[in-house]
Amino acid sequence: MPRVAGRRHREMRADEKARWSEENRPCCICGMATIDWDAQANEPDAFELEHPLPVKTHPELEFEPTNRKPSHHRCNRGKGAGQILPTIGTTSETW
């Protein structure tokens, strides 16, 4: 089955970014509210969507709202897949 993540992902991400930038949400990895919401995609402080439980290992959680958090590009990069504390609390559905 072909993956159809593209459009849904982009729309959801744009929506979340708009909301989070308004609240100036802190980075979910380092906890600092210094995300540069208008930065180019590859700048260290640029916004990057983080999945605390990696989509690689939890594809079913890609669109789970509680598994989508803002982060710095550099923090997201530094993390890699599969270390840190996958604590996302209670999910909105039972998966």
53 belongs to the binding site for Zn ion (CB under 5 A) = no
Is 61 a residue that touches Zn ion (CB under 5 A)? Answer: no
The structure tokens 């709202």 sit at: 65
Q: Which of 41, 43, 49 is nearest to 71 (CA)?
A: 49
48 or 62: whose CB is closer to Zn ion? 48
Contact letters (x/-) for Zn ion, 13-52, by CB under 5 A?
--------------x-xx----------------------
Asked if 51 and 68 count as a contact pair (C-beta separation under 8 A), the reply is yes
Rounded Cα–Cα distance for residues 73 and 87 (Å): 20
Task: Please give the residue ranges that form the binding site for Zn ion (CB under 5 A).
Answer: 27, 29-30, 72, 75
